[in-house]
Amino acid sequence: MSTITTTLASATVSGARTGKIRAYRDFLTPSLHRKFIRAGAVALGACYIEAFLLGDKSSYFWSWFPIGPAGLRTLLLFISTLLLLFLRVTHLRFGARTAVSPIAALIQLINSFDLLRTFSFYLFSAWWFSEVYVWSASEESGLSWVVPDDGNGRDRLNERPIFLRSNLAWLAFAMASIHMYCDYDVIEIKQYPSLDGPEKTTSLTSAVSVLSSKLQGSLRFAVATATSMTILNFVFYAMFFRRFAWAWSLWFGRLVWDIPRSAEPSIIPPYHYTLIFRAFTSSILLACLWEVSNLAFSTWASEAPLKLDKPLTTESRDPNGSLISGLVAKKPLVKTSALWELSIISEGFEERRKTIFAEIDRPGGASTWKQIMNACLALLEAMSIRLEDNRVPPPEMTLAASREKEVRNLPRLAAPLRADAILQASPRPVNRTQRVESEIGAFAKSIGQSPLKKPSNMASPARKFLEHAGNQILTPDQQKSLQPEQLLSSANSLVSQFLSTVVGVPFRQTFAARVQAKVFGSPRSELPALLLGIFSISRLAVAGITEDTMGTVNRDIPLIMRTFGNAIGRIQKFVNESGVHWTDVNFALAGEHARRVEEVEFLTGYLRTALRHIIQEYEGYARDMGISPSELKAARIAAGLDTL
């Protein structure tokens, strides 16, 4: 009794806080700043190494001493990586990109300006690196903007740096395309918590160890990409890009130097072996710089929302209030980060978990547990609404409803339309007035129903001539192939053949892509938020058996079981009843596995496991909690514990 009294008192004090609750983003933003600084430190180290490689080696001391040319070159190179880090912060988000087809994903990117922003940042970063590289090169390298002409004393535009800059621009285009295709901007949760294992199953691997383990592969990829793009640029520059690059450089060079307007490039591109060597080295250095920066940022961005191995909101005066503000946030980044922190709390921080059950009177009326549960279950309810959309056709307007919408602002000038059987014969007139009306009506109808003259057959000779000519020129099989049905069949066959090729892949709306876009949402998947919310509710519900001294959890167990069971049923129904798009030409080839979507099956299995744990813990108290035997049976079937 004393324990309950003490807990109730602490809960009342905790719930009586009237101060302003700090928003969750006030804790998330400094965490992102720390991750940005750590990734920037790694990028700065890579810039220092490259600054040493690009520097003059005539003086060994000044080639590496930070306070000198090496340090200045490092800071200038760091601007290129800083642009990339700013881009990553702008596009930071959870969840993979979802779209019904690759071409639909491209349209989404164009509409959101992500594609344009990414290519712009990469191109500007490449241009800045090229200027630093040219500035760092010696005079013997021949990379100056102009070279003196011995003939008339006027400067002549140097094509060597033009080729070098175009090579790095081509590399920027390729790396930006890879960046968008591989979806570098997504925050990857290294390991989702396991529902089947014991508590504290999430391993918090050091970011430094993850970075060191992936660094070699990233550098190897950067070298391979830069080498292949440079080889291709030798061909594309000479065939397509040379004239444009020369004209643009000539326009800019004439603003500074005295260059003839009619200057033309040489017949043969300046493919000297020294320039070829510099083209390869500069592209490799820039690609390595980009890959190291991207890897460092992705590694630290994927770190759990912890500070000194504790949840971010631990320092708040009202930790649970700040956490709830993140759970109900509108921005997916803030909401998913709060769900991630909640899953960590529900798994490995027992004392913090107990406060969730103890705070029964929060500002707003609902307890802490109630608000957290509602925020997590809202994700499943939103998914269920998505699955029900467009499945039921809109109700047709009934005759009574259409009559109610009759315009009443003008007086009726004629009698309303007859609603009786107008096709039946009219009754015989019984008095003189009706006989007169009948005779007049019959006479009026006879005027409009007079037999028409048979139309002339003037077009028959021309039609017969065309048919005769067709019979003389085309065979019966050829005439049959020109029928509309045959033409439509041939067109469908050609479209199917096109979709079966590599070129037609971007236009296919596969069954898996359509299902994922509907279940997980679009344009970004909500799978991380769904999994973290399911895990948190399951762990908290199971822990409530022993830690919920106030009895707040068991009242909501029926709602949790129904929500989980309904979500499982709706996902299965949607997958089984969804139609196949006509562009999915490979659906029939998959056979019995055609309707299996791996990510959706993983979510369904996660829901089943969570529901199974809750049933096993609370099944003995089902009657006391108001769960009927039929509801319990349905929940057990959804969890895979029973069969129909």
| Cβ partners under 8 Å of residue 414, min gap 6 | none
pTM listed for this prediction:
0.80
Six-digit token string for 636: 């057990």
**pLDDT greater than 80 at residue 62:** no
C-alpha gyration radius of the chain: 37
In contact, 371 and 326? CB cutoff 8 Å? no
Number of other residues whose CB lies within 10 A of the CB of residue 71: 14
Q: Model confidence at 468, in pLDDT bands (50, 70, 90)?
A: low
Looking at residue 144, the DSSP 8-state letter turns out to be: S
Instruction: Report the distance separating Cα 317 and Cα 314, nearest Å.
Output: 8
For residue 397, the model assigns a pLDDT of 38
Match 């107990």 to its residue by tokens. 354
Q: Would you put residue 390 in left (φ > 0), alpha (ψ -120 to 50) or beta? A: left
| Residue 38: band (very low, low, confident or very high) from pLDDT cuts 50, 70, 90 | very high
Q: How far apart are CA 566 and CA 324, in angstroms?
A: 25
Specify the pairing of strand 155-157 against strand 146-148.
antiparallel
Q: Using the predicted structure, report yes or no on whether residue 4 has a pLDDT greater than 90.
A: no
- Whether 452 shows a pLDDT value over 50: the answer reads no
Please tell me the distance from the alpha carbon of residue 448 to that of residue 425, in angstroms, as a whole number.
19
Cα–Cα dist 165/16, whole Å: 65
Peptide bond connecting 629 to the previous residue in cis, omega within 30 degrees of 0: no
**Which tokens go with 198?**
């014991």
For position 227, what pLDDT does the model report?
95
First to last CA, the chain: 45
For residue 450, what are its two tokens? 């007079």
The residue written with tokens 């994903």 in the block is 105
Closest CA relative to residue 224, chosen from 175, 179, 271: 175
Mean local confidence (pLDDT), 107-121: 90
Element (H, E) at 542: helix 527-547
Strand 306-307 to strand 93-94: parallel, antiparallel, or no bridges (unpaired)? unpaired
Rounded Cα distance between 124 and 101, Å, is 30
> Can you tell me the distance from the alpha carbon of 378 to that of 623, in angstroms, rounded to the nearest whole number?
26
Q: Which residues contact 200 (CB under 8 A, 6 or more apart)?
A: 347, 348
- Residue, of 390 and 100, whose pLDDT is higher: 100
Say how far apart CA 2 and CA 360 lie, in whole Å.
Answer: 18
The average pLDDT across 585-592 equals 79
User: Per the structure block, which two tokens stand in for 255?
Assistant: 């603003």
**Which segment of 189-203, 230-244, 326-340 scores lowest on mean pLDDT?**
189-203
Q: Encoding tokens for residue 281?
A: 């080295």
Q: Which residue has the higher pLDDT, 150 or 35?
A: 35
Helix 114-136 × helix 159-181 angle, to 10°: 140
Mean pLDDT, range 359-387, rounded to an integer: 88
Q: Residue type at 501?
A: T
Backbone angles phi, psi at 333, to 5 degrees: -65, -45
Tokens (6 digits) for 438? 């009948």
- pLDDT at residue number 419: 53
The string of DSSP codes covering 591-625 is: GGGTT--HHHHHHHHHHHHHHHHHHHHHGGGTTTT
Measuring CA to CA, which residue among 1, 22, 10, 618 is closest to residue 360?
Answer: 10
Alpha-carbon distance 282 to 267, whole Å? 25
Reported confidence tier of residue 608, pLDDT bands at 50, 70, 90: very high
The pLDDT score that the predictor gives to residue 237 is: 85
Please classify residue 402 by burial: count the beta carbons closer than 10 Å to its beta carbon, then call 0-12 exposed, 13-18 middle and 19+ buried.
exposed
pLDDT band of 401, cuts 50, 70, 90: very low
Burial class (CB in 10 A: 0-12, 13-18, 19+), 127: middle
Residue 75 CA: distances (Å) to CA of 72, 263, 298, 365, 453 = 5, 36, 22, 54, 96
CA distance 336 to 326: 8
Helix (H, G, I), strand (E, B) or coil at 376: helix
The dihedral sign for the CA sequence 324, 330, 607, 638: positive
3-state secondary structure of 155: strand
What is the distance, to the nearest Å, from the Cα of residue 427 to the centroid of all Cα atoms in its chain? 71
Q: Regarding predicted confidence, which is higher, 409 or 152?
A: 152
255-263 long-range contacts, CB within 8 A, separation 24+: 256/145, 257/145, 257/146, 257/155, 258/154, 258/155, 259/146, 259/154, 259/155, 259/156, 259/157, 260/154, 263/156, 263/157
Which of 90, 72, 211 has the alpha carbon at shortest distance from 135? 72
Residue 202 has a CB neighbour count (10 Å cut-off) of 19
**Other beta carbons within 10 Å of 231:** 11
Q: Rounded to the nearest 10 degrees, what angle do helices 368-388 and 350-358 cross at?
A: 90
By CB atoms closer than 10 A (0-12, 13-18, 19+), residue 182 is exposed
d(CA 17, CA 36): 34
User: 156 phi and psi, to 5 degrees?
Assistant: -125, 135
Strands 186-187, 93-94: pairing is parallel
Phi and psi at 187, nearest 5°, equal: -85, 115
pLDDT of residue 69: 86
Predicted pLDDT of residue 402? 40
pLDDT confidence of residue 217: 92
Task: Please report the pLDDT score of residue 430 as a whole number.
Answer: 58
